[in-house]
Chain A
Amino acid sequence: MLSKRNPQLNKHGELIHLLSIEGLPRAVIEQILDTAGSFLSVNDREVKKVPLLRGKSVFNLFFENSTRTRTTFEIAAKRLSADVINLDIARSSTAKGETLLDTVANLSAMHADMFVVRHSESGAPHLIAQHCAPHVHVVNAGDGRHAHPTQGLLDMYTIRHFKQDFRNLTVAIVGDIVHSRVARSDIHALNILGVPEIRAVGPKTLVPGDLRDMGVRVCHDMAEGVKDADVIIMLRLQNERMNGGMLPSSGEFFKHFGLTPDKLRLAKPDAIVMHPGPINRGVEIASEVADGKSSVILPQVTFGIAVRMAVMAILAGNEA
């Protein structure tokens, strides 16, 4: 049975679903990061595969399109020896009028062991986790504006890799924070891991003042926001999510909040620049920065596979 308190944990406090970083114990996050470290080296082997999910079926249920995230989950599952089934749900059952829970019931009858779910509605992965068979694990691959926990975890892995200790860092998250499930997951994770200063940087329309309730410092000025930062996380300007009126133009946004070499110089000399991708050059980040020595955007992608392997391996080994 799912625990009333946190549906992600079983009665022993072990992870059985990954739905959100909010409410996860620090030890669970650290276990995922440590495990990801041991999976990273699998790439150096002659056999780039481990048998932990041999005979298990992982269903990628993407109700919202995302080639990149789906592909990294697929690679991660295959490196764990799982059978991976990709379903382009948006264009099949849902289009025919089937409800979410009916779709899931049908897929469970096909002996799924794990669902990787992306959905435009916040809470869809929670709903699935509450209604699937007890042996099935659910991983949230992004739901609405709510959460994108594996991105949050791979961001934490990246920060730990380059900065080792979280406890004396200043982390600036810049851009369209109000629409960003990545920002939300990052903020929860950074708080749990004890980062003393988290800044949310952007215009008032994209960085509302009530973000202060999440334990962040709100900055509407880029220079103030990135000053002496150890880590700068740039977010993509989500054109497809913006319903007009929030920004005069993307050129205007770049002028004030785009990360240029000049603005990067305000941060610490050894600051790292991160971005969940896909990047919009000249919209939120200058090419010189994206391709520069502070950028760790491509290592993030590599770490992302190891982190997703870790999440799936840990879930598969825990019983509800």
Chain B
Amino acid sequence: MSDLKLDAEGLYLELKRGVQRLLTPDTALVGIWSGGAWLAERLAADLDVASGVISSALHRDDFGSRGLAKADHTTLPFDVNGRDILLIDDVLYTGRTTRAVINELFDFGRPASVQLAVLVDRGGRQLPIEPAYSAARVTLSKEQSLRLVRDEAGAFSFEVK
């Protein structure tokens, strides 16, 4: 699949339209560290919505085999209780990271609802998790990895390995 061409900037505009349709007066965007956090930061500025960053590190199910993930903080500068939380991620794959951040989120309070919007859904789910919106769906083999990168100017692109 080395010929895979994904236009991250184009997909971002799609994501922005999708997210706009999901907004309620109580929505807060929560970007999953790291790629999702970049997206949430830009979406929050473009759509004028509250946003925060969430890390899966303290709730990962592979802690026993992989150890503690690189230190990164969850920062939610608003009260989670009663909010409509819209999780934002760059790539949705097994669903395990989403599960971990939902647990992390509930350590801060009880949101009214939790939804997920992603730039790319690459299939391969290992948990019953579905996004409310995905800008693209692609099929990749297990050996391939796909992640968002951000250059110094803040422009998005995809790295496929």
| A residues with CB within 8 A of B | 14, 31, 34-35, 37-38, 41-42, 45-47, 49-52, 313-314, 316-318
Contact = CB atoms under 8 A, between A and B. Distances in A.
22 contacts: A14-B67, A35-B68, A35-B71, A38-B57, A38-B58, A38-B72, A41-B73, A41-B74, A45-B108, A46-B107, A46-B108, A47-B108, A49-B107, A50-B58, A51-B103, A52-B58, A52-B63, A52-B68, A313-B68, A316-B63, A317-B67, A317-B68
Contacts of A316: 63
Nearest to A14: B67
> Interface residue tally of chain B, by bracket?
10 to 19
A280 to B, nearest CB: 36
B64 A317 contact: yes
Contacts of B74: 41
For the complex of A and B, list the 8 residue pairs with the smallest distance between their C-beta atoms, beginning with the closest: A317-B67, A47-B107, A50-B58, A34-B71, A317-B68, A35-B71, A38-B71, A45-B107
Contacts of B42: none
Given A37-B73, A51-B58, A46 B67 contact: no
Contacts of B67: 14, 314, 317-318
A50 B106 CA distance: 11
A38 B73 contact: yes
B100 to A, nearest CB: 10
B59 interface: yes
Contacts, number: 45
Interface in B95-139: 103, 106-109
Nearest to A47: B107
A48 to B, nearest CB: 9
Contact of B71 (A31, A45, A50, A318): A31
